[in-house]
Amino acid sequence: MSSSSSNRDHEPLSIEVKDVTMIFNMASESLTNLKEYFIKMARHELFFEEFKALKNVSFDIHRGEVVGLVGTNGSGKSTMLKVIAGVLEPSEGQVVVHGNIAPLIELGAGFDPELTARENIYLNGALLGYTKEFIDSSFDEIVDFAELSDFVDMPLKNFSSGMVARIAFAIATITEPDILIVDETLSVGDVFFQEKCERRIQKLINSGDVTVLFVSHSMDQVERICERAIWIEKGDLRLDGPVDEVCKAYREQFE
């Protein structure tokens, strides 16, 4: 493991990850239904095995840094994002975040499928801490970016997952957050909308004040957007350094 030296090292810290371990208890056998689960539990026949999704991971990210998290499927990178976003509480260690976070993780998770797109924009905006007045003034811009003006009064249950993701992305990025966390968001929807999302993220990056933590399976995308990368594999921090060096090392494991 190597440590990264960034040209932003003089900037204050945005994210401090201190010796974080995340443990999940997994059932030691596969159960097919809830009845079987409760019967085994009542008989004290249900056993769990500890699964360490993250193992004593530590790193700091300075304000304005654009950092990619890379790793194979199940490596722990999405768990790391959820710990930083406050969705999960670490089993051990600590995460300190300085500033407000716009987490683009599991887009649409805070939506109600029975409500219309219009109602969900206000609901999701409230969950992100926006006032009704702010949503009123930003409503047309959100709808325009999401390209959903013809569907704004349609119940969300009739929308595709890509259309839901468009609304969520438009709401989360309508203001300039201190920290933007992006987890595979840009893989949703058609290629033209992906490019549109990437341009908006790039605009936030160019402001120089937004800290971006970015997860993607596309090394090309990570290299295009990020200046630094952190490679997490099987819960361990494998490498932390300039994006080209980390992505090169990551690719070499498959050769």
Per-residue DSSP letter, 28: S
Tell me how many domains the chain contains: 1
Question: Which is more confidently placed, 103 or 144?
Answer: 144
Q: Which pLDDT tens digit goes with each residue over 181-191? A: 888 666 656 77
| Predicted local confidence at residue 3, as pLDDT | 46
Mean pLDDT comparison of 118-122, 145-149, 164-168, highest-scoring range: 118-122
Asked, for residue 105, whether it belongs to a domain, the answer is yes
Asked, for residue 51, whether it belongs to a domain, the answer is no
Cα separation, 251 vs 255, whole angstroms: 7
| Predicted local confidence at residue 188, as pLDDT | 59
Asked, for residue 164, whether it belongs to a domain, the answer is yes
Asked, for residue 229, whether it belongs to a domain, the answer is yes
Asked, for residue 169, whether it belongs to a domain, the answer is yes
Question: What is the pLDDT averaged over residues 87-113?
Answer: 85
Asked, for residue 24, whether it belongs to a domain, the answer is no
Mean pLDDT comparison of 18-32, 197-211, 235-249, highest-scoring range: 235-249
Cα separation, 196 vs 191, whole angstroms: 9
Asked, for residue 1, whether it belongs to a domain, the answer is no
What is the domain-level CATH number for residue 221? 3.40.50.300
Question: What is the pLDDT averaged over residues 6-35?
Answer: 79
Question: What is the pLDDT averaged over residues 119-135?
Answer: 91
Asked, for residue 133, whether it belongs to a domain, the answer is yes
| Predicted local confidence at residue 34, as pLDDT | 72
Residues of the domain holding 239: 65-92+100-252
- Average pLDDT score, the chain: 86
Mean pLDDT comparison of 2-11, 82-91, 171-180, 213-222, highest-scoring range: 82-91
Q: Which of 70, 30, 28, 80 is nearest to 51 (CA)?
A: 28
pLDDT at 117 over 80: yes
